[in-house]
Amino acid sequence: MNNKKIALGLVGLGVAAYLGSVYIVNKDDRNLAARQIAQYSHLDPQSLNFQAMKIMADKGCGYCHTSDSEMPFYSEWPIAKNLMDADIQVGLRHFDINKLYRNLQNQEPVSEVALARIEKVLYDDSMPPKIYQSMHWAAGISKDEKHTLLKWIRESRAERHQDSPVTAERKQRALQPIYTTFEVDAGKAELGKVLYHDTRLSGDDTVSCASCHSLDTGGVDNLVGSVGIDGQVGGINAPTVFNSVYNKLQFWDGRAHDLQAQAGGPPFNPIEMGSHDWAQVIEKLSDDDEIVAMFEYAYQGEMTGDTITHAIAEFEKTLTTPNSRFDQYLMGDKQALNEIEQHGLDLFKQYSCHTCHAGEAMGGETFETMGIKADYFADRSAPITAEDMGRFNVTGQASDKHKFKVPTLRNVELTAPYFHDGQAETLEQAIYDMGKYQVGVEMSDSEVKAIKSFLKTLTGEYKGETLSIKADNVQQANDV
């Protein structure tokens, strides 16, 4: 009898300790959320942006999905610190919410990827994790809160895509057709086209932008590493130039903030184009009367590094590829995709591919860790290189190691080999590897085939013609 009383007493003490801890934790959560919400006092409290932010603050999303959030009082306790540090590392690998908070605070459009990620976890009820809710009782998302967040997501998309030629309901979805027309100066773009194909931007007049990003081969060179000056081979795969205007940042590691900044990099890379400086390039271009006349027309004769890169960027803004079969499907033609292609689209969404590959370009918005569900680099036979460090090389933040810009999936059937290191030789291999390393599933051959069939419907048109790899370019790639 005494043992039973002791046991009941211990259980009672345990319950009391648990409930007391929950009370203290939730009180601290409310205080931290209130301080975070106060930073958004300039927003209309009736707006969906404010309401969405308040829900995320109340639920403590920032604890695990930011690197600089104010943390609860117990975060420095020995055991709690280790657990929370591990949770933060996992959280940041899956979704860094900092940019979303900045967007809301600055009243800017929220990332397509952020909206897709939040929508997914709302539908599958995977966030906040149940173990987190066991201590943070207020963290669970109510039906009304879910409704508010979904309404915010849909209206955010509809506002962003108000000019899209799709139905009102389609404008609220994660995947959109290419429809944006970018403002371009025709004279500068024409000059940029000439410069893009001009080998005089390289030190020995052998390499142009088009050497690695040919418009006849999907905007790439179909090589693992591009061949530069003196036959040197670079350490990273060339991304496509088509639809690069949609990228939030340029290069795999995002070191260039726009197309113009990107255009100024390769000419002075000793492996790629190997010029010494702009003076060397300008001296050669100045001997060409036609080029001089084009600069006179476009830039009042000003030939500088700034005008050269600006012209190339203007040209690259024209390299969008609309009117793919998938675009036609999104715009209402349900016959544009056959049965297996539609099944591939369903699998694409089932495996959450659209939570990285969202928007018009279906990529280019965020940087993601290569190997979230399995260690890609441990399985790869090649040793780790400086290029493999990805976004870390730019930010120096440990959480950015092995993070790379999510590539556009537009015209993806033409841009093999795949990934930053070019290690996936075929589209089938790329799909299989994405399943294993990013989703955590081993796709069947039939699933890979279906997704590949869908991805091939993303090939669009340039100048009114469907993109393809020209036969002579295929032979050149095979000969290298």
pLDDT tens digit at each of 480 positions of the chain: 577 777 667 677 777 766 776 677 778 778 888 988 999 999 999 999 999 999 999 988 888 888 777 777 776 777 667 777 777 788 888 898 889 999 999 999 999 999 999 999 999 998 888 877 777 788 889 999 999 999 999 999 999 999 999 999 999 999 999 999 999 999 999 999 999 999 999 999 999 999 999 999 999 999 999 999 999 999 999 999 999 999 999 999 999 999 999 999 999 999 999 999 999 999 999 999 999 999 999 999 999 999 999 999 999 999 999 999 999 999 999 999 999 999 999 999 999 999 999 999 999 999 999 999 999 999 998 999 999 999 999 999 988 999 999 999 999 999 999 999 999 999 999 999 999 999 999 999 999 999 999 999 999 999 999 999 875 554 444 444
How far apart CA 421 and CA 403 sit, in angstroms, is: 13
339 and 444 together in one domain: yes
The reported pLDDT for the residue numbered 478 is 45
142 and 82 together in one domain: yes
Picking from 316, 340, 359, the residue at the C-terminal end of a domain is 316
Picking from 264, 288, 316, the residue at the C-terminal end of a domain is 316
How far apart CA 306 and CA 292 sit, in angstroms, is: 15
24 and 155 together in one domain: yes
User: What's the pTM?
Assistant: 0.91
For CA atoms 424, 356, 392, 438, the dihedral sign is negative
The reported pLDDT for the residue numbered 479 is 44
The reported pLDDT for the residue numbered 126 is 87
Buried b (16+ CB within 10 A) or exposed e, 343-361: bbbebbbebbbbbbbbbbb
230 and 278 together in one domain: yes
Angle among Cα 186, 187, 192 to the nearest 5 degrees reads 95
475 and 355 together in one domain: yes
The reported pLDDT for the residue numbered 292 is 98
442 and 348 together in one domain: yes
Angle among Cα 394, 253, 127 to the nearest 5 degrees reads 95
How far apart CA 223 and CA 409 sit, in angstroms, is: 18
The reported pLDDT for the residue numbered 18 is 66
The reported pLDDT for the residue numbered 415 is 98
138 and 9 together in one domain: yes
User: Is there a catalytic annotation at residue 341?
Assistant: no
The reported pLDDT for the residue numbered 72 is 72
Instruction: Give the tokens for residue 54.
Output: 């308040």
Contact, 467 vs 460, CB < 8 A? yes
Picking from 292, 316, 340, the residue at the C-terminal end of a domain is 316
> 461-462 and 465-466 as β-strands: parallel, antiparallel, unpaired?
antiparallel
Q: How far apart are the first and last CA of the chain?
A: 86
> The CATH number of the domain where 199 resides is what?
1.10.760.10
How many structural domains does the chain have? 3
Instruction: Give the tokens for residue 225.
Output: 């590493």
Those residues with Cβ within 8 angstroms of residue 36's Cβ, 6 or more apart along the chain or in another chain:
57, 62, 70
410 and 291 together in one domain: no
SS3 state at 161: coil
Contact, 26 vs 136, CB < 8 A? yes
How far apart CA 159 and CA 223 sit, in angstroms, is: 40
Q: Residue 221: which domain range?
A: 186-316
Residue 180 lies in a domain: no
How far apart CA 330 and CA 178 sit, in angstroms, is: 10
DSSP assignments along 116-156, one per residue: HHHHHHHHHT-SS-HHHHTT-GGGSPPHHHHHHHHHHHHHH
How far apart CA 209 and CA 278 sit, in angstroms, is: 15
Residue 176 lies in a domain: no
Write down the catalytic residue from 119, 145, 190, 272: 272
Q: Which of 84, 174, 169, 177 is nearest to 123 (CA)?
A: 174
